[in-house]
């Protein structure tokens, strides 16, 4: 009984070691298969240059390292310096909206018209009240002048004169109050017609005819496209090298253009979370620029020896970059590691190329 129990324990131990071992072997085989160990190895692609495929020197580029200014690209956004949100100053129903998002407007253009029948009635009532009080003022003035003449002739007493003057002054005060009421009614009526405070473009429309406009609730958003500038959070080591008025380049990848800009403002307080400063760069207005677009500030950051090549010589396969290298009359692929963009048509190479090597341009 003891021997049988011992054999059973031994068999269990062997089984407990066998399963992990088989799992490890299977895992190693899968890794080798994924790595291409069982596939036929393909030599790097090479193409000998024939007489018909001779390449002009103009189509080649000789790799040389040069002392290049380091450029740090900082993610930025286009921001409208002059923008405004249109809202109502009174509670009223929206009668008409004359613009939509994307429309160009000029200063003073009528954007929104609110319901104003009640306000027109108030203005009309104030005008009629002024007309009625004017008639009373004229009558009181005539009575006062008559009482003055009678007083000068010793016919009327001073009491009569003072009473006529007090009546005239009282009605004149009523006229002034009525004129103030009319001015307030006219001002309230002007609030029903909302005009553009600036010349620019409508960004968005937040209301439709029939809605109720409430004081302070935004109805439209406008911005002046001429006032666009670029803003970015720049790390302090680089931001502290900039000075107001300094010229730097701004790249807009969506337009494939580089603009010159001037440092307009450096906010003199760092963001404690990112240890960066807000830098604002003004640029000239260009067609196609819109607020919120992605941009990159190309900020100078010292000099160093770099190998730079034209971006037209680089071909991509997925996320890999390679160039066609000419070596001993043979054209072959050379995978490279690309660094930062130096300019719109030049990029630095971290590894894969050496001084004196020749590569092809505009190769497909």
What are 309's two structure tokens?
């090549």
Contact present, 72 and 299 (Cβ < 8 Å): yes
CA distance 73 to 301: 10
Q: What is the pLDDT of residues 24-79, one digit of tens each?
A: 888 888 887 777 666 665 555 555 554 445 566 667 888 888 887 778 889 999 99
Least confident of 2-6, 216-220, 357-361: 2-6
- Tell me, which fold does domain 88-222 have in CATH? OB fold (Dihydrolipoamide Acetyltransferase, E2P) (2.40.50)
Alpha helix positions (H), the chain: 2-34, 117-152, 158-191, 236-239
Domain boundaries, the chain: 1-42, 68-80+224-324+333-360, 88-222
CA distance 114 to 108: 16
pTM to 2 decimal places: 0.56
CA distance 97 to 94: 8
Give the count of beta carbons closer than 10 Å to the beta carbon of residue 144. Answer: 18
Three-class secondary structure of residue 142 per DSSP = helix
Asked if the model's pLDDT at residue 94 lies above 90, the reply is yes
- Tell me, which fold does domain 68-80+224-324+333-360 have in CATH? Elongation Factor Tu (Ef-tu); domain 3 (2.40.30)
Three-class secondary structure of residue 158 per DSSP = helix
Alpha helix positions (H), 153-240: 158-191, 236-239
Q: What is the pLDDT of residues 140-179, one digit of tens each?
A: 888 888 888 887 878 878 888 788 889 888 988 988 998 9
């Amino acid at each position: 009984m003891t021997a049988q129990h011992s054999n059973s324990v031994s068999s269990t131990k062997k089984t407990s070691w066998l399963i992990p071992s088989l799992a490890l072997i299977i895992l190693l085989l899968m890794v080798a298969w994924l790595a291409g160990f069982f596939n036929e190895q393909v030599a790097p692609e090479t193409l000998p240059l024939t007489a018909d495929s001779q390449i002009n020197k103009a189509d080649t580029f000789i790799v040389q390292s040069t002392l290049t200014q380091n450029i740090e690209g900082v993610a930025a956004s286009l921001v409208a310096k002059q923008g405004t949100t249109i809202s109502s100053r009174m509670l009223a129903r929206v009668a008409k909206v004359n613009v939509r998002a994307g429309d160009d407007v000029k200063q003073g253009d009528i954007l929104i018209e609110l319901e104003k029948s009640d306000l027109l009635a108030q203005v009309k009532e104030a005008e009629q009240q002024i007309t009625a009080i004017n008639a009373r003022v004229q009558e009181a003035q005539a009575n006062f002048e008559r009482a003055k003449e009678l007083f000068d002739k010793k016919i009327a007493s001073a009491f009569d004169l003072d009473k006529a003057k007090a009546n005239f002054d009282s009605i004149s005060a009523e006229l002034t109050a009525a004129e103030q009421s009319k001015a307030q009614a006219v001002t309230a009526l002007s609030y029903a017609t909302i005009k553009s405070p600036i010349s620019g473009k409508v960004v968005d429309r937040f209301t439709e005819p029939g809605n109720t406009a409430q004081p302070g609730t935004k109805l439209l958003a406008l911005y002046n496209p001429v006032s666009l500038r670029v803003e970015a959070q720049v790390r302090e080591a680089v931001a502290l090298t900039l000075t107001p008025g300094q010229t730097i380049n701004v790249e807009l990848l969506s337009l494939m253009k580089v603009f010159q800009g001037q440092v307009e403002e450096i906010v003199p307080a760092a963001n404690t979370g990112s240890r960066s400063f807000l830098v604002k760069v003004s640029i000239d207005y260009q067609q196609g620029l819109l607020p919120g677009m992605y941009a990159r500030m190309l900020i100078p950051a010292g000099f160093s020896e770099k190998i730079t090549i034209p971006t037209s010589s680089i071909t991509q396969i997925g996320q890999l970059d390679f160039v066609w290298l000419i070596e001993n009359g043979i054209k072959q692929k050379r995978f490279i590691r690309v660094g930062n963009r130096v300019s719109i048509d030049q990029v630095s190479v971290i590894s894969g190329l050496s001084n004196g090597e020749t590569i092809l341009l505009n190769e497909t």
